[in-house]
């Protein structure tokens, strides 16, 4: 008889387990008490889960609504967490007829004050890292069982093994160089058959790719970065996911993605979104076309997906302690949802900052995407920072093209003369290049003098400077040779590398000089409020000499760019600033200048002069 009872109990247990096993995913995997927004929406995924009745018996957690889609394998639960809720496990009860089981959902205590997520501003200098190509701190994770693509360092488009441990090992190198923040290209799981090293084809929004490390490693990296004086900016992608994403085999609803009878590519023409004359077909393709055959386009008009993405970013901020976000392809997703996302994040973290990738050719098109822009269509992105591609294009043209009435060095004058279109140009992200562009040293035809001018300009004009890894040692590469060429391995990041740039071992003389130049500039810039927040005044270039000042009431820095042969530059024209000062220090050569009336300029050179009374 006892045996029979035991058998029956076992049988009941098995049924209960069978029910329990139906839950394959709950996302977000946990949430926190004491958030500004008391609501959270859980995605529950499991076989026929929608056939179960859901209930929560807890005074601190109210089940507001159970949402179902056309797919019975999904439920979306609207929860409200009370202000007095305590951290701990909440039982979510799933019941079918007389069988039921509990899912234990964890509400955690917040580890950080929301204001500890500090944002990134013009007082920062950002080092951009492509993690697969920076440093292989853990060769053990180069190949991971279950991950489709294996490491192949000989393939420019393959995985090379760089990881979070590699970044952790070199935080001091980055902070000693003078940077105050790192932007790491996406590190979430990209379990795709090929070309996944760049991270932009996400297959799990809640998991760091095991070839980069674990979620815990990411959190650890953020902690250690903070201890080294570095903020962390996470790269996120809402426009698309990878075609091997787990939900692709069983979508929550047909409208989770933008779907077409046959593969339909985006037109990649971001200007369409703000174009007052755009056609319906162009509007449709920019927003709804797929970024690539391997990158299905997410439909942010689906309110469950919108909640999913918003919560996903808040989850990463809260979990890992990051300071900012760089959002990929900002103009491509549905733009009102993106604005709601920015508002939701900044409501939780008022000091946080977000830069949206706005890859546009023109100033006005870029300005459209910045918070509070006076757009005629009434659109407000709420996005504080935009990527200033016009500065990037103008810088290269200014240094490479012949000086004419409107060309050459005039490009720099004209690009800044259009700053009236921006709500706050000092929040623009400025860069000589990035992971998608020809490396600056190649753009400047390996001209070291031009390189020095480019770096001086980016680190002294308005905005938030971002420098791509390896720029400090003159790494080169052309985008037209394939993206692998602009994302080469950082020398010294792999065991056995002949050159170790982390220690300046076996670097050429010129590369060491470049390293010291960048290091000196960055460390000088670090504490110069006049560069971070001072006003900017520039003078129309004359005879290929461009002069601008960063200044406050009592401080001024004079920057002189000379594209011509060596000469004495008469400074009478700049007296409206200079008349308050009598001498200067050249912050690159340390030379003291006692006569400001005529300043010597070498051919094709730049000087940064800190003025003194
Ligand atoms: Ca590795």
Mean pLDDT on 462-473: 98
CA 156 to ligand 1 centroid distance, Å: 16
CA 160 to ligand 1 centroid distance, Å: 8
CA 223 to ligand 1 centroid distance, Å: 20
pLDDT mean across residues, the chain: 95
Distance CA 133, CA 490 (A): 6
Mean pLDDT on 288-315: 97
DSSP 3-state of 63: strand
pTM for this predicted structure = 0.95
357 tagged catalytic: yes
Under the banding of pLDDT at 50, 70 and 90, the label for residue 21 is low
With a CB cutoff of 8 Å and minimum separation 6, the contacts of 7 are none
Distance CA 398, CA 409 (A): 4
CA 168 to ligand 1 centroid distance, Å: 12
CA 150 to ligand 1 centroid distance, Å: 11
Catalytic residue among 328, 334, 433, 476: 328
pLDDT of residue 481: 82
pLDDT of residue 113: 93
Under the banding of pLDDT at 50, 70 and 90, the label for residue 22 is confident
Are the C-beta atoms of 321 and 350 separated by less than 8 Å?
no
Provide the 8-state DSSP code for 165: H
CA 386 to chain centre: 11
Whether 212 shows a pLDDT value over 80: the answer reads yes
Strands (E), 19-125: 23-27, 30-32, 39-46, 53-55, 61-68, 74-81, 88-96, 99-108
Percent over 70 (pLDDT), the chain: 97
Structure tokens at 456: 């001086």
Provide the 8-state DSSP code for 148: S
| Residue labelled with tokens 């790494």 | 475
Are the C-beta atoms of 28 and 215 separated by less than 8 Å?
no
301 tagged catalytic: no
- Edge-first strand listing for the sheet containing 385-386: 385-386, 353-356, 324-327, 231-236, 181-184, 126-129, 464-468, 429-430
Distance CA 115, CA 352 (A): 8
pLDDT of residue 20: 52
pLDDT of residue 4: 54
Domains defined for the chain, CATH in brackets? 2-108 (2.60.40.10), 119-531 (3.20.20.80), 535-612 (2.60.40.1180)
DSSP 3-state of 475: coil
Mean pLDDT on 182-201: 96
DSSP run (H or E) holding 611: strand 605-612
Under the banding of pLDDT at 50, 70 and 90, the label for residue 19 is low
Mean pLDDT on 463-472: 98
Distance CA 104, CA 544 (A): 69
CA 167 to ligand 1 centroid distance, Å: 11
Strands (E), 365-417: 385-386
Percent over 90 (pLDDT), the chain: 95
Catalytic residue among 235, 357, 363, 472: 357
Whether 17 shows a pLDDT value over 90: the answer reads no
- pLDDT tens-digit readout, 384-431: 999 999 999 999 999 999 999 999 999 999 999 999 999 999 999 999
Structure tokens at 334: 């549905």
pLDDT of residue 1: 46
- pLDDT tens-digit readout, 435-451: 999 999 999 999 999 99
CA 103 to ligand 1 centroid distance, Å: 35
Whether 46 shows a pLDDT value over 80: the answer reads yes
Q: How large is the angle between the packed helices 389-400 and 448-460, nearest 10 degrees?
A: 150
Distance CA 319, CA 216 (A): 9
* Among candidate residues 224, 183, 199, 172, the one with its CA nearest the CA of residue 464: 183
Mean pLDDT on 500-529: 98
pLDDT of residue 139: 98
508 CB neighbour count, 10 Å cutoff: 11
Mean pLDDT on 147-168: 97
Residue 590: burial class (beta carbons within 10 Å; 0-12, 13-18, 19+): exposed
């Amino acid at each position: 008889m006892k045996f029979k009872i035991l058998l029956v109990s076992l049988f009941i247990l098995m049924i209960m387990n069978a029910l329990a096993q139906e839950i394959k995913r709950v996302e977000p995997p946990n949430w926190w008490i004491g958030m500004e927004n008391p609501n959270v929406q859980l995605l529950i995924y499991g076989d026929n889960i929608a056939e179960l009745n859901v209930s929560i018996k807890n005074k601190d957690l109210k089940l507001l609504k159970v949402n179902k889609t056309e797919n019975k394998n999904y439920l979306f639960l609207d929860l409200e967490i009370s202000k007095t809720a305590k951290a701990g496990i909440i039982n979510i009860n799933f019941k079918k007829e007389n069988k039921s089981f509990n899912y234990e959902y964890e509400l955690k205590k917040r580890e950080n004050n929301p204001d500890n997520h500090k944002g990134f501003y013009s007082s920062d200098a950002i080092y951009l890292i492509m993690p697969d190509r920076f440093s292989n701190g853990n060769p053990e994770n180069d190949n991971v069982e279950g991950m489709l693509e294996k490491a192949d360092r000989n393939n420019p488009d393959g995985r090379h093994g760089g990881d979070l441990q590699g970044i952790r090992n070199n935080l001091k190198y980055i902070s000693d160089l003078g940077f105050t923040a790192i932007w790491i290209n996406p590190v979430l799981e990209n379990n795709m058959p090929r070309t996944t090293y760049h991270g932009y084809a996400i297959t799990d929004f809640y998991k760091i790719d095991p070839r980069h490390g674990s979620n815990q490693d990411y959190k650890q990296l953020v902690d250690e970065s903070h201890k080294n004086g570095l903020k962390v900016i996470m790269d996120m992608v809402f426009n698309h996911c990878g075609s091997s994403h787990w939900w692709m085999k069983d979508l929550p609803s047909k409208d989770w993605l933008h779907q077409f009878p046959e593969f339909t590519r985006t037109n990649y023409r971001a200007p369409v979104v703000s174009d007052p004359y755009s056609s319906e077909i162009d509007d449709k393709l920019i927003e709804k076309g797929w970024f690539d055959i391997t990158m299905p386009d997410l439909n942010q008009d689906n309110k469950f997906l919108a909640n999913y993405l918003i919560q996903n970013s808040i989850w990463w901020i809260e979990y890992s302690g990051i300071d900012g976000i760089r959002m990929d392809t900002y103009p491509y997703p549905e733009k009102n949802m993106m604005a709601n996302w920015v508002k939701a994040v900044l409501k939780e973290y008022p000091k946080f900052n977000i830069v949206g990738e706005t890859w546009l050719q023109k100033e006005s098109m870029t300005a459209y995407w910045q918070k509070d822009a006076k757009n005629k269509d009434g659109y407000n992105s709420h996005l504080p920072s935009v990527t200033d591609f016009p500065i990037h294009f103008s810088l290269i043209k200014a240094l490479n093209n012949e000086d004419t009435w409107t060309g050459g060095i005039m490009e720099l004058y004209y690009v800044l003369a259009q700053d009236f279109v921006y709500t706050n140009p000092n929040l623009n992200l400025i860069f000589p290049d990035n992971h998608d562009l020809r490396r600056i040293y190649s753009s400047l035809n390996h001209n070291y003098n031009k390189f020095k001018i480019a770096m001086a300009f980016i680190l002294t004009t308005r905005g938030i400077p971002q420098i791509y890894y390896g720029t400090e040692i003159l790494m080169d590469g052309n985008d037209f040779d394939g993206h692998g060429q602009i994302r080469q391995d950082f020398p010294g990041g792999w065991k056995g590398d002949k050159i170790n740039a982390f220690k300046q071992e076996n670097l050429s003389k010129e590369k060491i000089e470049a390293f010291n130049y960048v290091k000196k500039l960055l460390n000088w810039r670090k504490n110069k409020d006049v560069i971070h927040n001072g006003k900017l005044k520039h003078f129309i270039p004359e005879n290929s000499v461009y002069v601008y000042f960063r200044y406050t009431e009592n401080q001024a820095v004079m920057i002189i760019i000379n594209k011509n042969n060596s000469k004495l530059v008469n400074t009478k024209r700049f007296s409206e600033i200079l008349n308050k000062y009598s001498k200067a220090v050249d912050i690159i050569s340390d030379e003291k200048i006692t006569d400001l009336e005529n300043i010597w300029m070498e051919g094709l050179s730049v000087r940064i002069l800190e003025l003194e009374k």
